[in-house]
Amino acid sequence: MSHPRFTLFRGKRGGQYYFNLTAKNGQVILQSEGYKSKASAKNGIKSVKVSSKRKTLFEAKRASNGKHYFVLTSPNGQIVGKSQMYNSLSGRSNGMRSVTGNAGRATIIDEA
């Protein structure tokens, strides 16, 4: 399967819907929160495509273990995705750039 892509799937516990955004190399660069309906998850993907174009909607964070990550919010302030944990600030910055560069052109694979 080609990348970049959003993969929409249903979680094993609780039956909620989720999506991941993968980069060209197949690495997951953004994970969604859980959604109660498939339609809501699809709207979340649309929100990522729009929100990823605005750098002000990325929030850089640091976990209690010292690792770095970021969240992407929609214009209304709701979190639409969270990154993996990075060991360095530069890794986190590269992850944000990857989401910005990949989300708008990513295909959607529905596995739900």
- Residue 104, classed as helix, strand or coil, is helix
Over the stretch 3-39, which tens digit does the pLDDT of each residue have? 899 999 999 877 899 999 999 888 999 999 999 999 9
**What pLDDT does residue 1 have?**
60
Exposure pattern of 31-48 as b/e (b: 16+ CB <10 Å)? ebeebeeeeebbebbebb
Bond into 4 cis (ω within 30): yes
Predicted model pTM: 0.91
Q: What residue numbers bound the domain in which 31 lies?
A: 5-110
pLDDT digits (tens, 9 = 90+) for 50-90: 999 999 999 999 999 999 999 999 999 999 999 999 999 99
Give residue 3's pLDDT. 82
Residues sharing a CB contact under 8 Å with residue 27, sequence separation 6 or more, in sequence order: none
Q: Given this model, what pLDDT does residue 2 score?
A: 75
pLDDT of residue 13: 77
Exposed/middle/buried for residue 78 (C-beta within 10 Å: 0-12, 13-18, 19+): exposed
What CATH number does the domain containing 76 carry?
2.30.29.80
Count: domains in the chain:
1
